[in-house]
């Protein structure tokens, strides 16, 4: 992110509020954790020798990841939250982030609200903006996050083992329930909508849980594309299979009030909740529950991992449920 | 970048070529430098204890940073080149990168050419793709690059000192000359256009020069927004001023054949050449030239740094030139 606040040297005449002014006004904060933050060609970062960097990037496009007109404060929260969720799924401690932003126009009210939502969540996680880019273009938010994890402690997708329990944090499916309302697929009552919409627009990244699960959980992934689809990624990477008990999925009152087919579709195939799906040895059940309590996050045991490489969904009576639920795919879906 | 190649476990029916297939086909390469590359929630990276990470992100938007219909192979090159240029300007050695990509459609021919251009340049610099994201949306390329620099050796913008020489690599202005032709501002002859267009669409990041200048140069910046504007960033960060000798700017035959006003505008205010602008003590002139020769890059001494915080542009006779040349601003310009 190039910027030039408080220009006293300039080869240029005074311009209307432009890229550099906007960046300085809304996105420049002093670097505390970085050796060098916003304002040079690159940021400079250094870690302790026994730490590894976890890094991830996510792009949010208007009309695809959020609807036009989404409250910019909530959008600032969400853009960072979905990236923090990737750190959570590795068991990494958030350190810093970069923000590249394409905007149709330099809308100050929008920028003020967006940056407020962004930095509020950043402050909660002690993470700082160290660089970025702004440009004019169709609304697009691309964040890159960096976290730290002790060498060998990351929760990887390929670490699930036969005999592991399968766990999920929180209540999966509520974000998809809100999306269905916004899309006109069904109608929620006001209170249910408010609850579900907050889950869609302001997901809570399970950072504390990811940290608490280091040394306990085997594999972890954040559910962004749908529970079964994301579970499939873990199973393939780990070369194992799993059995999921559909009725073991935690519902909460809002989902519990929905028809079974809708509820099941939201819970199994809906993304955007950013809950953690993880596996842990059956012998560590008590440790998982202690870690979750310490992190202040509900967790539910929803199935088990098996050696046979297939994914089986069963009902309360243990009968197989056929499922057409597929992972969200940004290109395959309409 | 979530992906699921070679699915043997799936809760989903076979889908048309989707996000995961595309990523696997065009962007998945084995990790050699990363501890963990593409395929998990985050990549994992570790550096030697005496190394610092330099990190930067740049977003390229169709119609803003490249014209619709730009050869995708050249675009793949450019998207990485402009990011490598930021590492060059810090004197950092490229290590790895992440790619977030919004595409209007899953166009395989485009992806094949784009990835070929991208990985060709990546291979030249021994840099590997460690993560990313793909989604549907208006064409947008957001890259994040990581490089390594020994602690304390980075070429920072705030390190220019009074008494430094001012240097530029290569021939600045040729990219802007090509852009003017494409915009219909002027017309270039075929040979001149071909030369200038290659500079616009396939800039050479001055990585080798940046590395060679460590321990010799004081401050450095890559010229992406225009020579005078980017110089202004260095001067403000370093709290110094400078005198630039307009006629000391290297021209090459294509620029030399242009009318003076056009040539000067292209050279002083044109961006997109991604040349390195740097300062070095006058006592190190021979070392600068030796470093540049070792890097195989032409450098030219174009002015000097002064304590007085103003930027003065002079002609061959030492007379001041008034200038309206301002830095490119993605929001302030139409």
d(CA B107, nearest CA chain A) in Å? 10
Give me the interface pTM, i.e. the ipTM: 0.87
Inspect the interface and report whether the beta carbons of A6 and B236 lie closer than 8 Å: yes
DSSP per residue, A7-69: -SS-SS---SS-HHHHHHHHH----SSSSB-BTBSSEEE---TTEEEEEEEEEEEBTTTB-TT
Cα angle B98, B218, B242 (rounded to 5 degrees) comes to: 110
Q: How far is A191 from chain B (nearest CA, A)?
A: 32
**Residue B237 and residue B331: Cα distance in Å, rounded?**
22
Secondary structure letter of residue B261 according to DSSP? H
Tokens of A294: 């310490």
* Beta-bridge mates of residue B59: B142
Residues of chain B with Cβ-Cβ distance to A4 below 8 Å are 232-233, 236, 327
CB B234 within 8 Å of CB B279: yes
User: HSE (CB half, 13 Å, CA atoms) of A319?
Assistant: 3
Please give, rounded to a whole number of angstroms, the shortest distance from the CA of A220 to a CA of chain B. Answer: 9
| DSSP bridge pairs for B245 | B314
Rounded Cα–Cα distance for residues B75 and B164 (Å):
36
Residue A112's CB is within 10 A of a number of other CB atoms, namely 14
Tell me the C-alpha distance between A88 and A297, whole Å.
13
Relative orientation angle of helices A260-269 and A174-182, to the nearest 10 degrees: 110
Chain pair A-B, CB pairs under 8 angstroms: 325
For every residue of B40-84, DSSP letters joined together read BSSEEE---TTEEEEEEEEEEEBTTTB-TT--HHHHHHHHHHHHH
DSSP class of residue B107 equals -
Do B131 and A86 touch, CB atoms closer than 8 A?
Answer: no
Name the CATH superfamily for B19-150.
PurM-like, N-terminal domain (3.30.1330.10)
Helix-strand-coil split of chain B, %, nearest 5: 35, 25, 40
CA gap A3, B271 in Å, rounded: 15
Whether residue B302 contacts residue B245, with contact meaning beta carbons closer than 8 Å, is answered with yes
Q: CB B44 to CB A146 under 8 A?
A: no
Length of chain B: 334
B-chain residue closest to A326, CA distance: B12
Tell me the residue length of chain A: 334
**CA separation for the pair A28, B241 (Å, rounded):** 24
Q: Give the nearest partner residue to B232 out of A11, A59, A225, using CB atoms.
A: A11
Backbone φ, ψ for residue A102 (5° rounding): -105, 130
Which CATH entry fits the domain spanning A157-314: 3.40.228.10, 2.60.40.420, 3.90.1640.10, 3.90.650.10?
3.90.650.10
Q: What share of chain A is helix, strand, coil (3-state, %, to 5)?
A: 35, 25, 40
Which of B96, B82, B75 has its CA nearest to residue B31?
B96
Cα–chain center distance at A29: 24
Tokens of A256: 């519990």
How many Å lie between the alpha carbon of B46 and the closest alpha carbon of chain A? 5
**Cα–Cα nearest to B272, from B212, B187, B183:** B183
Contacting residues of A for B137, CB less than 8 Å apart: 59, 61-64, 138, 140
Decide: B303 and B166 in contact? Cβ < 8 Å.
Answer: yes
Cα separation of B233 and A19, whole Å? Answer: 13
Measured CA to CA, the distance from residue A214 to residue A219 in angstroms comes to 10
Per-residue pLDDT of chain A in tens (334 residues, 90 and over written 9)? 333 222 222 223 333 446 656 666 777 777 777 888 787 888 888 888 889 999 999 999 998 888 888 999 999 999 999 999 999 999 999 999 999 999 998 888 999 999 999 999 999 999 999 998 888 899 999 999 999 999 999 999 999 999 999 999 999 999 999 999 999 999 999 999 999 999 999 999 999 999 999 999 999 999 988 999 999 999 999 999 999 999 999 999 999 999 998 999 999 998 889 999 999 999 999 999 999 999 999 999 999 999 998 899 998 888 888 765 544 444 433 2
Q: How far apart are the first and last CA of chain B?
A: 35
Going from N- to C-terminal start, the domains of chain B cover 19-150, 157-314
Of B99, B137, B325, Cβ closest to residue A140: B137
Query: Is the dihedral angle over the CA atoms A309, A313, A315, A321 positive or is it negative?
Result: negative
Looking at residue A111, what is its pLDDT?
Answer: 92
pLDDT per position as a tens digit, A29-48: 777 778 887 878 888 888 88
Helix, strand or coil for residue B121?
A: helix
What pLDDT does residue A20 have?
Answer: 56
Which pLDDT does position A19 carry in this prediction? 60
Q: Which of A154, A153, A80 is nearest to B43 (CA)?
A: A154
Domains A19-150 and A157-314 share a fold: no
For chain B, which ranges sit under pLDDT 70? Answer: 1-21, 23-24, 323-334
Sheet holding A140-150, edge to edge: A128-136, A93-103, A140-150, A51-61, B43-45
Q: How far apart are CA A82 and CA A205, in angstroms?
A: 7
The span from the CA of B175 to the CA of B197, in Å, is 7
Partner-chain residue, chosen from A9, A13, A136, that has the shortest CB–CB distance to B330: A136
pLDDT (0 to 100) of residue B130:
92
The distance of B224 to chain A (nearest Cα, Å) reads 10
Q: B-chain residues within 8 Å CB-CB of A20?
A: 327, 329
Report phi then psi at A95, rounded to 5. Answer: -120, -55
For residue A109 the two structure tokens come to: 């009210």
Strand order across the A220-223 sheet: A220-223, A275-281, A164-169, A299-306, A241-245, A311-314
For the residues of A130-178, what is the DSSP string, one character each?
EEEEEEESS-EEEEEEEEEEETT----GGG--TTEEEEEES-TTHHHHH
CA angle (B158, B272, A36) in 5-degree steps = 25
Taking an 8 Å cut-off on Cβ atoms, the answer to whether A39 and B327 are in contact is no
The b/e string for B168-187 (b: 16+ C-beta within 10 A; e otherwise) is bbbbbbbbbbbbbbeeeeee
Sequence-distant (6+) residues with CB within 8 A of A52 are A148, A149, A150, A151, A154, B35, B44, B45, B46
């Amino acid at each position: 992110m190039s910027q030039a606040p408080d220009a006293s040297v300039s080869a240029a005449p005074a311009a209307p509020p432009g890229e550099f002014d906007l960046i300085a006004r809304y996105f420049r904060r002093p670097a505390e954790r970085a050796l060098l933050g916003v304002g040079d060609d690159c940021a400079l970062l250094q870690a302790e020798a026994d730490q590894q960097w976890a890094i991830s990037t996510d792009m949010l496009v208007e009309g695809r990841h959020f609807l036009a007109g989404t409250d910019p404060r909530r959008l600032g929260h969400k853009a960072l939250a979905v990236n923090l969720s990737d750190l959570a799924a590795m068991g990494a401690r958030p350190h810093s982030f970069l923000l590249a932003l394409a905007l149709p126009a330099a809308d100050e009210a929008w920028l003020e609200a967006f940056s407020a939502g962004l930095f509020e969540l950043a402050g909660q996680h002690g993470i700082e903006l160290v660089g970025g880019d702004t440009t004019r273009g169709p609304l697009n938010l691309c964040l890159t996050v960096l976290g730290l994890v002790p060498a060998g402690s990351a929760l990887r997708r390929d670490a699930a083992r036969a005999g592991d329990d399968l766990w999920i944090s929180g209540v999966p499916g509520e974000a998809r329930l809100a999306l269905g309302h916004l899309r006109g697929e069904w109608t929620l009552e006001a209170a249910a909508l408010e609850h579900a919409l907050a889950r869609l627009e302001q997901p809570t990244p399970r950072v504390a849980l990811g940290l608490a699960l280091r040394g306990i959980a085997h594999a972890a992934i954040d559910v962004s594309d749908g529970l079964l689809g994301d579970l499939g990624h873990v199973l393939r990477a780990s070369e194992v299979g799993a059995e999921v008990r559909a009725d073991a999925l935690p519902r909460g009152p809002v989902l519990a009030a929905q028809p079974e087919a809708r509820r099941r579709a939201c819970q199994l195939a809906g993304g955007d909740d950013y809950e953690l799906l993880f596996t842990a040895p059956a012998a560590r059940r008590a440790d998982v529950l202690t870690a979750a309590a310490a992190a202040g996050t509900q967790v539910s045991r929803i199935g088990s991992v098996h050696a046979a490489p297939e994914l089986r969904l069963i009902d309360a009576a243990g009968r197989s449920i056929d499922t057409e639920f597929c992972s969200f795919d940004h290109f395959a879906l309409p």
